[in-house]
Amino acid sequence: TALHAKTAPLADADLLVKRDQSRLIHPHLPGDTTDRIVMVEGSGCRLRDAHGREYLDATGGLMLAHVGHGRRELIEAAAGQMAKLEYYSSFHEFSNEPSIRLADRLIGLAPPPMERVYFTSGGAEAVDAALRMARLYHHRRGERDRTWVLARSLGYHGVSYGGAAATGMPMFHQGFGPMLPHVRHLTPPMPFHPEMYGGEDPTEFCLRELRETIEDIGAENIAVMIGEPILGVAGVVEPPGDYWPRVRELLASHGILLILDEVITAYGRTGHWFAAERLGVTPDFIVTAKGLTSGYFPMGALLVAGQVVDVVTRDEGFVGGYTYSGHATGCAVALENLAILERENLLAAATRVGDRLGERLRRLEELPVVGQVRQTGLMIGVELAQDPATGEPLPADRVPPLVRERAGVIVRNNPNTVLISPPLVMSDDEADRVADAVTEVLTEFATRRRSGPSA
């Protein structure tokens, strides 16, 4: 299963690790940690590091890499566009051919009220743009007090100041404040954790809390609500089917806009182009990134519904852009990436391989350390529990190390849910290897905990 048999381990692999330690700041890595995995090569779902060790990529990097690593078509799309025109500004009246073709393609794929696209360099920038557009929409219509943003606990929206403010995880606020003001976090529905709802049905609890919050802040002060259609980083939690349609209806009745953050879910991960279709909800904004280019180019796309477009583009237009908005090479790569997703039927593959993995991994619910296994398409969360009967979470320091230690399968601990989100091109054999590795590690972990009080 060699990748490119000719590539030997790098002669200076150890030196690279040392230089990494002295020169790089990594997100979420304590400074005194010496471990590094220096990736040098990829093909499909396989990766190789500088020391020549091979891995199976069961997270698609950070939940992207939809079409797999090393795709010749994307290399050619980038090279072809760079040879013609690598980049030009999208500010004012300037444009470029691939950005127009891509915007047209995205609106063709998106649910009907989406009418125009605003390009960014990633997810958090697109979240910020959506928040800015939502406030501007109300401001220009004369409702200048509509500044509040409703977000959700456990939601993740990136680490720009707007994105971090909307993110509902305390670690992204502590030490960084003051955060963007006028943000209120609501409870998301997590049926596996009934203790969060004091005996009430989770959806009813959430809807009641939303109604009470609107009353408390005053609808006339609220601009927008933002949420992930399916909680991603927080552990792959798909809400009950009536949650989003009812939230949407309630918001609309109060003139409050809705942003769906589909940075993880868009472009096939759930078996659909957008999770909004799956959940039967039509928002005012859809935030996307990651799978748009499968990670071959850093890019995000904010899709905006017609009624908002009309307001934010009038007068002097939408103020503010990013240097790389509508990057010609990025857009050319995205177009080819979408073509591959379609040509190779990768949306259907996400469902098929996801179901196969889900079926295997659900058996782990029998282990005394596994609370719940959740799967939507090719995104899977294996929630670990102190006591599966009550769902009490396992303290983070008790979670076993990444499965990569075993069998070279990379998954993500986050912190008490194992996240699995491989490229959509993963083969059945590879999926079985992932299931084997996770099963082996968690079975061993359960045995160790049973046999020793401090294990």
Residues forming the site for ligand PMP (CB under 6 A): 62, 122-124, 127, 156-158, 228, 232-233, 261, 263-264, 289
* The token pair that represents 120 in the structure block: 């960014």
Closer by beta carbon to ligand PMP, 124 or else 276: 124
Measured from the CB atom, the residue of 122 and 202 that comes closer to ligand PMP is 122
In whole angstroms, the minimum distance from the beta carbon of 343 to ligand PMP comes to 26
Q: What angle do CA 154, 299, 50 make, to 5 degrees?
A: 90
Shortest CB 299 distance to ligand PMP, Å: 9
Which residue, 349, 381, 388, 386, is CA-closest to 366? 388
Q: Which is nearer to ligand PMP, 114 or 287 (CB)?
A: 287
State the residue for tokens 């920038």: 125
- Looking at the Cβ atoms of 232 and 271, the one nearer to ligand PMP is 232
Distances in Å between the Cα of 441 and the Cα atoms of 58, 130, 438 are 15, 41, 5
Task: Give residue 143's identity as a one-letter amino acid code.
Answer: E
Contact of 192 with 391, CB cutoff 8 Å: yes
Closest-approach residue to ligand PMP (CB): 123
The residue among 44 and 163 lying less far from ligand PMP, judged by its C-beta, is 163
H or E segment to which residue 386 belongs: strand 379-387
Q: How many CA atoms lie within 13 A of 117 on its CB side?
A: 26
Smaller CB separation from ligand PMP, 187 or 443? 187
When the beta carbons of 98 and 168 are compared against ligand PMP, the nearer one is 168
Q: Which is nearer to ligand PMP, 156 or 197 (CB)?
A: 156
Closer CB to ligand PMP, residue 146 or residue 272? 272
State in angstroms the smallest separation of the CB of 156 from ligand PMP.
5
**How far apart are alpha carbons 295 and 52 in whole angstroms?**
23
CA 109, CA 384: separation in Å to the nearest integer?
Answer: 36
Nearest distance from C-beta of residue 394 to ligand PMP, angstroms = 23
Residue type at 448 in one-letter notation = R
Nearer to ligand PMP, 128 or 197 (CB): 128
Runs of H (alpha helix) within 141-256 = 161-166, 202-217, 243-253
Burial, 194: exposed, middle or buried (Cβ in 10 Å; 0-12, 13-18, 19+)?
Answer: middle
Among 225, 264, 232, 269, CA closest to 246:
225
In angstroms, the CA 370 to CA 379 distance is: 17
The CA distances from residue 317 to 38, 126, 310, 311, 330, in Å, are: 44, 17, 10, 9, 24
Q: Smallest distance, Å, CB 428 to ligand PMP?
A: 27
Look at the block and give the residue holding tokens 């509508």.
326
**Cβ closer to ligand PMP: 124 or 353?**
124
- Smallest distance, ligand PMP to C-beta of residue 287, A: 7
Phi-psi region of 96 (alpha: psi -120 to 50; beta: other; left: phi over 0): beta
CB of 165 to ligand PMP, least distance (A): 13
Q: Which residues of 47-76 are buried (b: 16+ CB within 10 A; e: fewer)?
A: bbbbeeeebbbbbbbbbbbbbbbebeebee
Question: Shortest approach of ligand PMP to residue 452 CB, angstroms?
Answer: 36
Rounded (10°) angle between helices 328-343 and 97-109: 40
Q: How far apart are CA 268 and CA 288, in angstroms?
A: 12
Shorter beta-carbon distance to ligand PMP: residue 262 or 383? 262
CB of 263 to ligand PMP, least distance (A): 4
